[in-house]
Structure 1
Amino acid sequence: MDRLPTDLSNVRRPIAEANGLPNAHYTDATVFEEEKHALLYDGWSGLAVAADVPEIGDAVPFNFLGMPLLLVRDRQNTVRVFQNICRHRGMILVAEPRKIEGAIRCPYHSWCYSTNGKLVSTPHVGGPGQNRHEGIDRNLLGLVEVRSHIWMGVVWINISGTAPDFETANAALLDRWSEFDRPLYHGGADSAFALEVNCNWKLAVENYCESYHLPWVHPGLNSYSRLEDHYHIEEEGLFSGQGTLVYRQIKDNNEKVFPDFEDLSDKWDTAAEYITAFPNVLLGVHRDHTFAIILEPQGPEKTREHVHLFYASPTTDDALRARNAKQWKEVFVEDIFVVEGMQRGRHAVSFDGGRFSPAMDGPTHLFHAWVAGRVQQRRMAAQAAE
């Protein structure tokens, strides 16, 4: 394509012959914009967790790739996502997290919306003291709702509105982890943290997908969950990651552990799995807790990682939760120098995207191939429309 000169022809080749994505897919603002639509707007992306709005009336604003969104738990206890703008003049409605006691009121001209998005009040819209006008049909001017779905505690959104239903689009993953399709209890403030990382968001996905780096980057983890204990997880076009046959539960000084999820199959007595649900949600499941990492792209070379831990019971030991969060944070921080180093490496003008180990890099290559396929699909659609 003349407009976006990145050659993706080698990326989708068999792994032994393929190159990784070209440098521009990590450094170039134009390509970042292209991928924003092809990968993040057109599919089911992670925005937040339902625990961000735990009570009825809670509202939290988000900036999703430049788009102002509002996460709300409405009066019927349903979590919804709206564009965070008034239908009158496009004013931002909610600037800071807060409780909606009555209606969502625009601070500009006081148009008001219910928590389910309905426009309920338009003061003086027909002139002083006249709160209605025949040209303003309130039934047609509710907040613009974004398609959303909650699974594994994550609020997933489809900005374009064109993706298949979440259950259809992610059927293979839902089936694989059907045993974890149950209430998950967020651990609270001590079970959530964010990491600021100077890299393109895709590098965080690529690193998470593979276990190849464990012996050198995570020596502590590798001391008991060794490289040879891991296996690849690959579902073309949908998700990829790794599993381990050796999961060691965290314990306190008295050998106490978290309660297990009930009625899990025997596999989970010792196993754990770590999967990226394309595009931007990294998930981990264990017999006694799960986690979700929502990657927030903040530009071609900057990402915020939002980490949340969930448990089988609404009441778990405070000190043990804090110890678990500390342990996982240490593991995730160990990865930062790697992804930031790869990001700096993408400024080497002669780098050809790199090669993959056919034995060890299958999950990462699968992600590269998915990215390339989605981008090529969008380019062909744009070309056909010209």
Structure 2
Amino acid sequence: MSNSRPTPPSATALHKVRAPVAQAQGLPNSHYTSPALFEEEAAALLKSTWAGLGVAADVPEPGDAKPVNFLGMPLLLLRDKAGVVRVFNNVCRHRGMILVEEPRKIEGALRCPYHSWCYATDGRLVTTPHVGGPGQNTHADIDRSTLGLVEVRSHIWRDVVFVNIDGTAPPFEEVHVDLITRWAALDQPQHHGGAESRFTLDVQTNWKLAVENYCESYHLPWVHPGLNSYSRLEDHYNITAPGHYSGQGTHVYRQLKAEDGTCFPDFADLPAFWDEGAEYVALYPNVLLGAQRDHSFAIVLEPVSCEQTREHVHLYYAAPETTPALRAQNAAQWKEVFEEDIFVVEGMQKGRHAPGFDGGRFSPAMDGPTHCFHDWVAARMMAHRAPVTPAAAE
């Protein structure tokens, strides 16, 4: 009699996801509808990688602070007095009180509203009023040097603030060297367009469906007829970098022009490809990036729950000053495009409650970027679930 145990159904399903695109099935329904799997994916896909948290433009000036709830964790995005953007746990080291409830500027020290422990904007604990008794602001057993704010590992690229919650990911520059190299010509200053160049979409869908829809062009003729009228499906190509990112590119990018014919200034010294080309990639796990000759955008997906996502959209330009009316028109056009996708991702989310749906199939010609993302999810989930053997633990 064999001592081997049958493979759990979940493992079998993930092996099917990792099959070649022509034979693969998509992720099972539970990966979109189960709160328990949402928590497991948070650990395997979001906390152990470089996940998008926000953008540096959220805290433009020294002392600016913005509280961010990420996967239930209270974090604080803060630009210190030296201009360095940092991410901290948004809690006092004394009794765990939330420090900042609303975005604001820290004029002096960051003061806890509970017992007035105060922190410098670089996280150092600087004052502890009455900690040793009335009028005694020190105590032999309270070592301020060890009680600064807990800093979360972070990295900024293309103004997106990425965080590695568990601290185990390799350096960002190593993980994403391929895309950094691919877009090296675009490694130049980007300027956020301001209030009219940011908006948030609340979508009733799992965050992964937002990634999957964004990284493929197959849906353009039916979901984005206006865009497809000049940048046609046949003008697009697939982009796949297994384990890191996937997306689409187009050979036909049309610049927005004002009535007098003016356009946004171009980024400097770009290769000829960018004259009419553009690329749109999903950088795993949750950041969607767009690059064109005269502007770019970043969408940071906030996974709220297994069936709710907030899409935080930010637009950037090559020059710090551009025509406000043209910026507003550009933001309105992109918002219209992204809103056209809402019924699709929400419809797929509803469809994931159908018990007979087996994860779906992929077009080998058209769905390579989507399968690339599914394969990454399945690979990380399988690695996360892999038992640690005694030998591996030594």
Give the TM-score, by structure 2 length.
Answer: 0.96
Deviations 1:244-287 (A, max 9, x none): 00000001111110000010010100000000000000000000
Q: Check the 8 A contact 1:4/1:31 in 2, yes or no.
A: no
Asked if the contact 1:59/1:72 (under 8 Å) is kept, the reply is yes
**1:316 alignment counterpart:** 322
Task: Check 1:251–1:358 CA distance in 2 against 1; reply closer, same or farther (3 A cut).
Answer: same
Offset of 1:181 from its aligned partner?
Answer: 1.2
Cα distance, 1:7 vs structure 2: 2.9
How far apart are residue 8 of structure 1 and its match?
1.1
Residue identity matched to 1:280: N
Structure 2 Cα separation of the partners of residues 335 and 200 of structure 1: 13
Residue 256 (structure 1) aligned to one of 258, 262, 267: 262
Map Cα deviations across residues 287-337 of structure 1 (whole Å, 9 max, x no partner).
Answer: 000000000000000000000000000000000000000000000000000
1:53 and 1:71 in contact (8 A); partners too = yes
1:175 aligns with 2:169: no
Provide the residue aligned with 1:204 in structure 2.
Answer: 210
Q: Which residue of 2 aligns with 1:80?
A: 86
CA distance in 2, matches of 1:40, 1:217: 29
Aligned to 1:277: 283
The amino acid across from 2:31 in the alignment is: H
2:29–2:352 CA contact under 8 A, matched in 1: yes
What amino acid does structure 2 have at the position aligned with 1:116? Answer: D
Q: Is contact 1:117–1:143 with CA below 8 Å preserved after alignment? A: yes
Q: Deviations over 1:97-156 (max 9, x none)?
A: 111011111111111100000000111111111111111111111000011111111111
Alignment of 1:330 onto 2:330: no
Equivalence for 2:117: 111
Percentage of pairs with the same residue = 67
Amino acid across the alignment from 2:231: S
Q: What is the RMSD of the two structures over their aligned residues, measured on CA atoms?
A: 1.5
8 Å Cα contact 2:11-2:382 kept in structure 1: no
Q: Deviations over 1:168-215 (max 9, x none)?
A: 111001000111111100000000000010000000000001000000
Asked whether the equivalents of residues 20 and 352 of structure 1 are also in contact (C-alpha less than 8 Å), the reply is: yes
Checking the alignment, whether the CA contact within 8 Å between 1:6 and 1:24 is kept in structure 2 is no
1:58 aligns with 2:80: no
Letter in 2 for 1:380: A
**Match of 1:157, as an amino acid?**
V
* Counterparts in 2 of 1:381 and 1:323: CA distance versus 1, 3 Å: farther
Equivalent residue for 1:39? 45
Aligned to 1:123: 129
* Superposition map of 1:78-227 within 5 A: 78-227=84-233
Question: Counterparts of 1:273 and 1:372 in 2: how far apart (Å)?
Answer: 25
SS of aligned partner of 2:40: helix
C-alpha distance in 1 between matches for 2:315 and 2:389:
43
| 1: CA distance, partners of 2:387 / 2:36 | 17
The 2-side partners of 1:244 and 1:77 are apart by 37
Q: Which residue identity is paired with 2:60?
A: P
Q: Does 1:27 align with 2:33?
A: yes
Counterpart residue type for residue 221 of structure 1: L
How many equivalent pairs are there? 386
Q: Find the aligned partners of 2:265 and 2:80 in 1 and give their Cα distance.
A: 31
What TM-score, normalized to structure 1?
A: 0.98
> Which residue in 2 is equivalent to 1:377?
383
Deviations 1:211-260 (A, max 9, x none): 00000000000010000000111001000000000000001111110000
The residue type equivalent to 1:373 in the other structure is: A
For residues 178 and 284 of structure 1, what CA distance do their matches in structure 2 show? 14
Report if aligned partners of 1:69, 1:83 keep a CA contact under 8 Å in 2.
Answer: yes
Residue 256 and residue 21 in structure 1: after superposition, are their counterparts in 2 closer, same or farther (change >3 A)? same
Give the letter aligned to residue 171 of structure 1.
V
- 1:160 and 1:275 map into 2 onto residues whose CA distance is 25
Q: Is 1:283–1:293's contact at 8 Å kept on the other side of the alignment?
A: yes
Question: Does the C-alpha gap of structure 1 residues 6 and 199 become closer, same or farther in structure 2, counting only changes over 3 Å?
Answer: farther
User: Aligned partners of 2:55 and 2:223: how far apart in 1?
Assistant: 29
SS of 1:8 mapped into structure 2: helix
**Structure 1: 4+ residue segments shifted above 4 A:** 1-6, 381-386
- Specify whether residues 274 and 150 from structure 1 end up closer, same or farther in structure 2 by C-alpha distance, changes over 3 A only: same
Cα distance in 1, alignment partners of residues 93 and 333 from structure 2: 46
Q: Runs of 5+ in structure 1 lacking a partner?
A: none
Contact 2:218 2:233 in 1 (8 A): yes
Aligned partners of 2:282 and 2:234: how far apart in 1? Answer: 21
